Amino acid sequence: MDELKHQVVGYDVVGITESWGSSEISDAELHIPGFQMFRVDRSTRGGGVILYVSQSIYRCCTAGPFR
Protein backbone atom coordinates (compact mmCIF):
# COMPACT_ATOMS: atom_id res chain seq x y z
CA MET A 1 0.00 0.00 0.00
CA ASP A 2 2.82 2.42 0.73
CA GLU A 3 4.08 2.13 -2.85
CA LEU A 4 0.57 2.67 -4.25
CA LYS A 5 0.11 5.76 -2.08
CA HIS A 6 3.21 7.28 -3.70
CA GLN A 7 2.23 6.28 -7.24
CA VAL A 8 -1.23 7.90 -7.17
CA VAL A 9 0.18 11.41 -6.73
CA GLY A 10 -1.09 13.55 -9.61
CA TYR A 11 -4.04 11.30 -10.48
CA ASP A 12 -7.70 12.05 -9.82
CA VAL A 13 -9.11 8.57 -10.45
CA VAL A 14 -7.35 5.26 -9.87
CA GLY A 15 -8.90 1.84 -10.51
CA ILE A 16 -7.55 -1.43 -9.14
CA THR A 17 -8.73 -4.79 -10.49
CA GLU A 18 -8.07 -8.19 -8.96
CA SER A 19 -7.77 -6.49 -5.57
CA TRP A 20 -8.33 -9.76 -3.69
CA GLY A 21 -10.13 -7.76 -1.02
CA SER A 22 -12.18 -9.59 1.58
CA SER A 23 -14.10 -8.91 4.76
CA GLU A 24 -10.86 -9.65 6.63
CA ILE A 25 -9.28 -6.49 5.16
CA SER A 26 -10.67 -3.26 6.59
CA ASP A 27 -11.32 -0.07 4.64
CA ALA A 28 -8.74 1.61 6.86
CA GLU A 29 -6.03 -0.74 5.56
CA LEU A 30 -6.83 0.21 1.95
CA HIS A 31 -7.43 3.94 2.54
CA ILE A 32 -5.34 6.45 0.61
CA PRO A 33 -5.35 9.98 2.09
CA GLY A 34 -7.04 12.49 -0.21
CA PHE A 35 -9.18 9.85 -1.95
CA GLN A 36 -12.69 8.51 -1.51
CA MET A 37 -12.64 4.73 -1.88
CA PHE A 38 -15.28 2.51 -3.42
CA ARG A 39 -14.71 -1.23 -3.20
CA VAL A 40 -16.46 -4.41 -4.19
CA ASP A 41 -14.97 -7.63 -2.87
CA ARG A 42 -15.62 -11.08 -4.27
CA SER A 43 -16.90 -13.77 -1.96
CA THR A 44 -14.65 -16.31 -3.66
CA ARG A 45 -10.90 -16.36 -4.12
CA GLY A 46 -9.52 -13.61 -6.36
CA GLY A 47 -11.31 -10.80 -8.13
CA GLY A 48 -12.61 -7.63 -6.58
CA VAL A 49 -12.24 -4.00 -7.60
CA ILE A 50 -11.36 -0.76 -5.87
CA LEU A 51 -11.94 2.71 -7.28
CA TYR A 52 -10.20 5.69 -5.71
CA VAL A 53 -11.59 9.15 -6.57
CA SER A 54 -9.75 12.25 -5.40
CA GLN A 55 -11.57 14.20 -2.72
CA SER A 56 -11.57 17.31 -4.93
CA ILE A 57 -13.58 15.56 -7.65
CA TYR A 58 -15.76 13.70 -5.16
CA ARG A 59 -16.71 16.91 -3.32
CA CYS A 60 -17.43 18.69 -6.59
CA CYS A 61 -19.73 15.97 -7.87
CA THR A 62 -21.59 15.31 -4.64
CA ALA A 63 -22.13 18.98 -3.76
CA GLY A 64 -23.31 20.15 -7.16
CA PRO A 65 -26.65 20.06 -8.94
CA PHE A 66 -26.08 16.48 -10.16
CA ARG A 67 -26.35 15.04 -6.68
What is the Cα Rg of the chain in Å? 13
pLDDT at 64: 57
**Mean pLDDT throughout 9-31?**
91
pLDDT exceeds 70 at position 67? no
From its phi and psi, is residue 6 left (phi > 0), alpha (psi between -120 and 50) or beta? alpha
**Angle (nearest 5°) at CA 38 between 36 and 39:** 145
pLDDT for position 26? 94
Q: Are strands 49-54 and 13-17 parallel, antiparallel or unpaired?
A: antiparallel
pLDDT at residue 21, as a whole number: 87
Give the mean pLDDT of the chain.
Answer: 85
Overall average pLDDT of the 5-12 stretch: 86
Q: Say if CB 49 and CB 40 are below 8 A apart.
A: yes
Residue boundaries of the structural domains of the chain: 2-63
In whole angstroms, what is the distance from residue 63 CA to residue 67 CA?
A: 6
- pLDDT band of residue 31 (cuts 50, 70, 90) is very high
